Structure formats: C-alpha cells, structure tokens
C-alpha cells in the first residue's frame, strides 16, 4: 500500500520561495490544538508534545488496524491576539495560537478519542484531550521562506507586506508559520520557516 504524503502531494501549498509568492490553499483537514503563551515556553511545548503524541498514536494505530499509512506532516501554527495591535508589539505571553498538523481525510473522530484515551491511560500530558480534528480553509495567501531566527521574522514579513501592497492586497487574518526545521536542533541562523499570511484585495 502506498504511503500518503500530504506535504509532497500538496507541494504548491508549501512553496518555500526566497521571495514572496501568491498561492491559494483549499480546505484541508488538520489535527489542531489551541493555546496561549510565548512560543517555546511551557504551555506551547506541552501543546506541541501533545499534538505529536496524538499524531503518531493515531497514525500507528490505524496502520496496525490495516487502515492505511501516511507521513506525519510538518507542524504549522497560526498566531493572533485579542488586541488590535500587530503581534510584534504585544508581549509574547499574550499570544494565542493554534498548532496544526495536516492529516488525511480518512482519519476520524473515533481515532482521536481512542488515541487520547490510550495516551491518558499511560499518564501522558492531559493536553492530548485538547487535540481535535478540524477543517481549515486558508484561501488566498502570500507566502515566503524565512531563513534564520524566529526573532528576525520581521524583515521577511516586511518584504511580504511590501509585495502585497504592490499587488493591491492587504494581509487579513492570522499570521501562519510552517516549521521546516527542528528548532531544538538546528542553530537559529539556519532555521527554515515558511511564513504565510492570508490576504484580501484592498
């Protein structure tokens, strides 16, 4: 049986270009978990850990049940806050986020419940209970690869927004990031992150 790799099957959604590009992303299914707090801090890391534990538990359980195999996609995150100010002017502790892992359509809610129960029975983080299956439709977006520390994203974002303006478009909705490299291991200057922002005509 062939292994589904959504990251490769939807290559055009994950273009990692060195200059801004316009893309249109269709509705897709994700495993999601929501939370609040600075990225890389306790609540965030706990959510990442819960999301991955669920993702792998669901995948391997389905595989054991002969329900097909697939590759676990890269971690994506959408960020926002309750304030009207741009995110970089708000303390990171106030950031809200939704962590997402794109998942094949045939994964069902019963898979989620089973996985959460199994993990909870072995004393894994209670946050696994907050992981759910959700649809999201990004629609038209502007996207670009950022290489370097997360703190330096502004320079890439500025470039994206400038480009958007020339196209008579403006950013609308939550800033999204797709983590290509593993921040625990890759030195900050070599980190690869796809930045994505939904847009609307001005």
Partner 1 sequence: MAIYLWLQTKLILMEYAIMRTVTQKSYLSRIVKTLNYIQTNLDHELTLEELAKEANFSPFHFHRIFSGMLGESVKELVRRLKLERAAIELQTTSMSILQISINAGYESDMAFSRVFKSKVGILPSEFRRTEHARFPCSSKACIRYVTSGHISSFEPLQIKECKMNVMIKDINTMKVAYVSHQGPYQECGHAWDKLCSSLATEGLLGGDAKMLGVSYDDPDVIPAEDLRYDACITVPNDFQVIDDIKVQTISGGQYAVTTHIGSYNNLSDTYRKFFGQWLPQSDYESDDKPCFEVYLNDPESTEPEDLVTDIYMPIINVSQQSPAVKENSND
> Residues interacting with partner 1, by CB under 8 A?
3, 5, 7, 49-50, 52-54, 56-61, 63-64, 71-74, 115, 117-125, 128, 181-182, 184-186
Min CB(99)–partner 1 separation in Å: 14
Nearer to partner 1, 54 or 77 (CB): 54
Report the C-alpha gap between 24 and 168 in whole angstroms.
16
Degrees to nearest 5, angle at CA 64 with 61 and 66: 115
> What are the E-state strand segments in the chain?
21-25, 28-36, 75-80, 96-102, 132-136, 139-147, 169-171, 175-179, 192-201
Pairing of strands 96-102, 21-25: unpaired
Q: Which two tokens stand for residue 53?
A: 């534990």
Cβ atoms within 10 Å, residue 76: 21
Nearer to partner 1, 131 or 169 (CB): 131
Smallest distance from partner 1 to CB 56, Å: 5
Nearer of residues 164 and 178 to partner 1, judged by Cβ: 178
Residue 114 C-beta: closest distance to partner 1, Å:
8
Closest CB to partner 1 among residues 70, 138: 70
> Measured from the CB atom, is 64 or 137 closer to partner 1?
64
Residue 30 token pair: 């994700």
Q: How far is the CB of 69 from partner 1 (least distance, A)?
A: 8
Task: Tell me how far, at minimum, the Cβ of 142 lies from partner 1, in Å.
Answer: 25
Return the SS3 of 87.
helix
Q: Which single residue is written with the structure tokens 């996985």?
A: 115
At closest approach, how far in Å is the CB of 182 from partner 1?
6
Q: Which is nearer to partner 1, 54 or 164 (CB)?
A: 54
CA-CA distance, 75 to 169, in Å (whole number)?
A: 27
């Amino acid at each position: 049986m062939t292994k589904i790799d959504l990251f490769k099957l939807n290559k055009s959604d994950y273009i990692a270009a060195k200059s801004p590009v316009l893309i249109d992303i269709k509705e897709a299914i994700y495993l999601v978990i929501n939370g609040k707090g600075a990225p890389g801090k306790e609540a965030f890391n706990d959510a990442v850990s819960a999301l991955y534990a669920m993702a792998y538990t669901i995948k391997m359980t389905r595989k054991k049940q002969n329900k097909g195999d697939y590759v676990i996609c890269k971690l994506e995150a959408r960020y926002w806050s309750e304030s009207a100010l741009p995110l970089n002017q708000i303390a990171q502790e106030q950031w809200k986020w939704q962590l997402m892992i794109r998942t094949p359509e045939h994964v069902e809610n019963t898979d989620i419940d089973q996985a959460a129960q199994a993990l909870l029975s072995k004393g894994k983080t209670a946050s696994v209970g907050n992981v759910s299956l959700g649809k999201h439709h990004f629609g038209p977006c502007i996207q670009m690869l950022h290489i370097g520390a997360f703190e330096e994203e502004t320079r890439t974002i500025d470039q994206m927004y400038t480009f958007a303006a020339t196209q008579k478009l403006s950013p609308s909705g939550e800033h999204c990031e797709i983590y290509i490299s593993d921040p625990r291991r890759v030195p900050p200057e070599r980190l690869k992150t796809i930045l994505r922002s939904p847009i609307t005509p001005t």
